[in-house]
Structure 1
Amino acid sequence: MVESELLDNKSYGSIENDHPDVLPVPPVDREQRKLHRGLSTRQVQMIAIAGTIGTGLFLGTGSSLAKGGPASMLICYTIIGFIVYVTLLLLGEMATQYPIAGSFGTYCVRFFSPSYGFALAWNYWFNDAVSVASDLVAAQLVMSYWSDWHPWAIGLIFWFFLVGINAIHVKAYGELEYWLASLKVIAIVVFIIIGILVNVGVNSQHRYLGGENWRLPGAPFVGGFGGFARVFVTASFAYGGTESLGITAGETKNPSKNMPRVVKAVFWRILIFYILSVLLIGLNVPYTYPDLSSKSSVTSPFTIVFKEVGSAGAASFMNTVVFTSVISAGNHALFAGTRVLYGLSAIHQAPRLFSWTTRNGIPLPSLLATSSISILCFGSSYIGNGQLWTWLQNLVGVSNQIAWLSIGLASWRFRKAWVRQGHSPNDLKFRAAWTWPWAPLFVVIIVACLILIQGWSSIFPEFVVVDFISYYIEIPVMIVMYTAWMLIKRPGLNNSSQTSPTKTRFWYSDLVDVNTVDLSKDQYHDEESDHIEDETRTRRMTKGNLGRRILWRLYYVAA
């Protein structure tokens, strides 16, 4: 454990009300409304990896391969990877400047529109809650490799486990995620090595595979344009979680320095892991492999590749890693959903109860509300684990895309306000210079197109009602929630300095006024512990003998 982790934890209060149309919350015990900054740099980096390298990669790639083929899978995962990387840079700018609870939902309220931010945050909270259910269903699917013993019991056991971990302390969550994520990273590195060996001839057939699975009938693009479009939503499900990196900003030590480090370092690692893994899966596993994705089961391509080595023990080991990854992903989703609901309460868009915390800084009511949604997983025995997981995967994937689009909207208004009020982009604590000025609109336009076209296969050649709903239900839900908040609060009737109300005969707009929005509020000011951490890091990498300095540099790169 590094020295900075031994420092006393700092706390921060909830966000103040930026909008006078929202009634203030009555005073409560301030000690009961604080999260603790207990997550270190190494934990935050691994949390970002743990939230993305999980169910989507280990199981979702099987569904992508079966429905779209190896070429569609490789192209779609590469495109989504680039989009998410740009989105993460935009989020990093805001999260470094304003490391607060709620992350991009709060940024949308503050810089874009309170009504849209309300709809987005509640939608994303539901996304996280459904993700927990999805991961518990995935745990049942993975366990079926060894035994069919009472799938509902497996889901129940791990539901209690995840709730218990998240109810202790943020450090308990962070430490569990760190070690589970480390196991996943090691497993993927081993998989890449094994995958190369299997392809060149170290397999059960003792023959060179090369690109023969790309030349199977129907490959490499399975299902034509419809199959290609369907892979986008599974890829979005797989990459989902990077955006929740901003949620950890509220509980990260020294966020002014640690958030830029995490943003710049983590995604390149994820991108390399994903692209190499997806390429090797497409080369080594035929899209026709039995039970790759069916109504009753989903087989991990990672387990299949390890099985091809000819060792049942190796396949069982990989399946164990997949299982722990699923639990890790559920743990991450539960944490993120809890903090989103806490953030909603902090800006008075959820009941005050959800901003109450224990003395250890755990928003317990938010945790219990989020975890309760995972009861969805217990319906899996009636409709088939594989089928339910596919539907949940679609719901979560589209919700992830809406989150990315919303980060683009919030960044666009934030950057505009920053410049309009006389600030230089160079004054930002973290600035992704090469993304100015095109990135926010690029993210908004390209993600909006993905949301609209990816459900093509549910319409042509045959209209499938349930699939269509799983692809598009998020859109009307967002519209209804946006409209409801707008009508209830009627911000256009108030003289707010933060919004620019536009009154028409039928409608009121609460688009935030970039000329007057407060850009100084909630900025983080470095504390003494932050300076100590920076000095410690600098001393370790610049002083002492050469071997010691090299070891510390390697440690900070790896951790």
Structure 2
Amino acid sequence: MATYEPEIKYQSDSKSESGVVKDEEPTEVSTPPQVNGIDGKLHRELSARQVQMIAIAGTIGTGLFLGTGSSLAQGGPASILICYTIVGFIVYVTLLLLGELGTQYPVTGSFGHYCTRFFSPSYGFALTWNYWGGRAISLAGDLVSAQLIMSYWTEWNPWAVALLFWVFLVMINAIHVKAYGELEYWLSSLKIVAIVIFIIVGVIVNVGVNHEHRYIGGENWRLPGAPFVGGFGGFLSVFVTASFAYGSTESLGITAGETKNPSRNMPRVVKFVFWRVLIFYVLSILLIGLNVPYNYPNLSTRSAITSPFAIVFEEVGAVGAASFMNTVVLTSVVSAANHNIYAGTRVIYGLAVVKQAPRIFTRTTKNGIPIPALVLTSSVSMLCFGSSYIGNGLVWEWLKNLTGVSVQIAWLSIGITSWRFRKAWVRQGRPLEEMKFRAKWTWPWAPAFVVISVIVLILVQGWHSIYPNFVVVDFVSFYIELPIMAIMTLAWLFIKRRRNPDSLQTSRTKTFWYTDMPDLDTMDLHEDEYKEVEDDIIEDEKRAQRTKYGNFVFRVLWRSYYWVA
């Protein structure tokens, strides 16, 4: 079979093409021939409606429904409320920084591509592979979660349940990006409805509608050892769980490469989605801390994890209430796994495009699905089957820690990349008004804030694995990714130095030190900028006509539709 170096191209609903993403060495890129139905293109088929729900689905998932149980047991109600709020604000600022980049340069690969372009190709190589590994591991964690949830109803072969979900999701992602997007939309809608119901139920349970018909109030905050369980170490341990829970928010940028009219839709998503998510998180976690005692039996053990959401529904006493909530939790796990397959597949595809992965992963079907990348990503999830022999709860904790740290490294890298991008933009004299989206209130402090705060989180969150007792396995799950990142960065730098020594810059003071950081004064800030196509203009005109002209009732209905959808 013939091989080729592909040029990324995107297709809108019409036959016009836009958003060309050039390779690092464009002189070596050629348009791929049509070989056995493989065209090397991704298609812009995700609507704003789907992208918004995808962003919510990535954050309201396994980490919230199951992770809050272990967080409550380890840190107590005050710790989870404070930690989730802090991490939520960090993620919100990070998302705004990513929104600036994703709107200006809507390419597949997202922050990994931006890091390679604006900061360092060698570090971008390590970051993107690390993030892909995090998505693949998180997929395994989702399937382990499915086993944990199914144990509520039956102990029948949990590995078979995981296998069925795995096959179903691989098939969905192999069909078309629209199939992935539509599944995410409806699963996310179900989760949002369920959380709204949970908030209502949580309030009435707290005021007295429960098994004991008593007002709970803040009793669980006054239990012996509460509200800060485990002291300072217990408080710090919640940060990694919170990061895991908020994880995948940053993968919103990955959808930019397949989003219709990204110049309009990406800012809308960035500005509105996260506030909704933050409200869901803060209210849900507050109610969990009020209604569920941190010492609830089997809230978090080596063999099982219980969802606090199901516990609250059990308190209502309604027949089947807990089963309903567990069903919702199960669908959220399927949604999270679906998103992780998608994100991991696009990340490995983006790596192959910039020649940091084997080029076979750039091959796509006529529907724009990179099947080799899909196969590699989904195959790693088979790690979940090892949990049947170790203990589902323990393995889930390990996978949660690994995924949480991977997500934090991604946030850190977004901060560094935004710092470099903003400096280059100002230094080259480009007017800030030329940016397609700019979060004005985050200038100039936001990148430094993200970098410093995330570094602190990464360093301190594993404190309880060191003191008072050193636990090797837990320590490794918290910190193993840091030396791996360093080794991969140095290895790629060494390889590039041997292959193309002219691409590296020698330090002025030491001849043995090399860097591949691009020059801020000469880097191309125009490459990959999105140019609107005819479909984008038509869509904007239709939206304006529906919301600004015509009958008052219809204008209100259309504005409500766009706000909700």
Alignment TM-score, normalising by the size of structure 1:
0.96
Q: 2:425 aligns with which of 418, 430, 452?
A: 418
1:222-241 C-alpha deviation (Å, 9 max, x unpaired): 00010000000000000001
- Alignment of 1:8 with 2:46, yes or no, is no
Q: 1:542 aligns with which of 541, 548, 551?
A: 548
Contact 1:136–1:155 at 8 Å: present in 2 too?
yes
Contact 2:94–2:411 at 8 Å: present in 1 too?
yes
Contact 2:75–2:235 at 8 Å: present in 1 too?
yes
Cα distance in 1, alignment partners of residues 539 and 118 from structure 2: 32
- Alignment of 1:266 with 2:259, yes or no, is no
1:40-439 matches, within 5 Å, as 40-439=47-446
- Alignment of 1:468 with 2:472, yes or no, is no
- Alignment of 1:502 with 2:510, yes or no, is no
Gap change, CA 1:9 and 1:475, over 3 Å in 2: farther
Q: 2:533 aligns with which of 527, 530, 534?
A: 527
Corresponding residue for residue 17 of structure 1 = 23
* Offset of residue 542 of structure 1: 1.4
For the residue of structure 1 that corresponds to 2:21, the secondary structure is coil
* Offset of residue 28 of structure 1: 3.1
* Offset of residue 545 of structure 1: 1.8
Letter of the aligned partner of 1:373 in structure 2?
Answer: V
Pairwise CA RMSD of aligned residues? 1.7
Cα distance in 2, alignment partners of residues 312 and 410 from structure 1: 52
Cα distance in 2, alignment partners of residues 85 and 131 from structure 1: 21
1:190-227 C-alpha deviation (Å, 9 max, x unpaired): 10000000000111110100000000000000000100
1:547-558 matches, within 5 Å, as 547-558=553-564
Contact 2:138–2:399 at 8 Å: present in 1 too?
yes
Corresponding residue for residue 35 of structure 1 = 42
Query: Where do 5+ consecutive residues of structure 2 fail to align?
Result: 1-10
Cα distance in 1, alignment partners of residues 408 and 494 from structure 2: 26
Cα distance in 2, alignment partners of residues 13 and 85 from structure 1: 26
* Offset of residue 324 of structure 1: 0.2
* Offset of residue 152 of structure 1: 0.6
Contact 1:11–1:37 at 8 Å: present in 2 too?
no
Cα distance in 2, alignment partners of residues 101 and 278 from structure 1: 34
Cα distance in 1, alignment partners of residues 108 and 186 from structure 2: 25
1:50-80 C-alpha deviation (Å, 9 max, x unpaired): 0110000000000110000000000000000
For the residue of structure 2 that corresponds to 1:289, the secondary structure is coil
| Percent identical residues | 69
Gap change, CA 1:150 and 1:26, over 3 Å in 2: same
Contact 2:18–2:531 at 8 Å: present in 1 too?
no
* Offset of residue 32 of structure 1: 1.6
* Offset of residue 506 of structure 1: 2.7
1:487-532 C-alpha deviation (Å, 9 max, x unpaired): 0111896444xx7553733331111111111111100000000011
Corresponding residue for residue 452 of structure 1 = 459
Cα distance in 2, alignment partners of residues 56 and 525 from structure 1: 37
Cα distance in 2, alignment partners of residues 71 and 356 from structure 1: 49
1:428-477 C-alpha deviation (Å, 9 max, x unpaired): 00000000011001100110010000000000000000000000001011
Cα distance in 2, alignment partners of residues 491 and 233 from structure 1: 38
For the residue of structure 1 that corresponds to 2:43, the secondary structure is strand
* Offset of residue 19 of structure 1: 5.2
Cα distance in 1, alignment partners of residues 186 and 45 from structure 2: 16
Letter of the aligned partner of 2:507 in structure 1?
Answer: T
Cα distance in 1, alignment partners of residues 383 and 530 from structure 2: 39
* Offset of residue 8 of structure 1: 3.1
Contact 1:53–1:270 at 8 Å: present in 2 too?
yes
Q: 1:515 aligns with which of 506, 516, 521?
A: 521
Gap change, CA 1:255 and 1:218, over 3 Å in 2: same
Contact 1:12–1:34 at 8 Å: present in 2 too?
no
Gap change, CA 1:48 and 1:348, over 3 Å in 2: same
Contact 1:501–1:508 at 8 Å: present in 2 too?
yes
Letter of the aligned partner of 2:298 in structure 1?
Answer: D
Contact 1:65–1:73 at 8 Å: present in 2 too?
yes
Cα distance in 2, alignment partners of residues 494 and 278 from structure 1: 53
Contact 1:13–1:33 at 8 Å: present in 2 too?
no
* Offset of residue 291 of structure 1: 1.1
For the residue of structure 1 that corresponds to 2:90, the secondary structure is helix
Cα distance in 2, alignment partners of residues 189 and 29 from structure 1: 50
Gap change, CA 1:479 and 1:411, over 3 Å in 2: same
Cα distance in 2, alignment partners of residues 298 and 311 from structure 1: 22
Contact 2:12–2:43 at 8 Å: present in 1 too?
no
Cα distance in 2, alignment partners of residues 130 and 326 from structure 1: 14
* Offset of residue 9 of structure 1: 6.9
Deviates more, 1:311-320 or 1:359-368: 311-320
Contact 1:13–1:34 at 8 Å: present in 2 too?
no
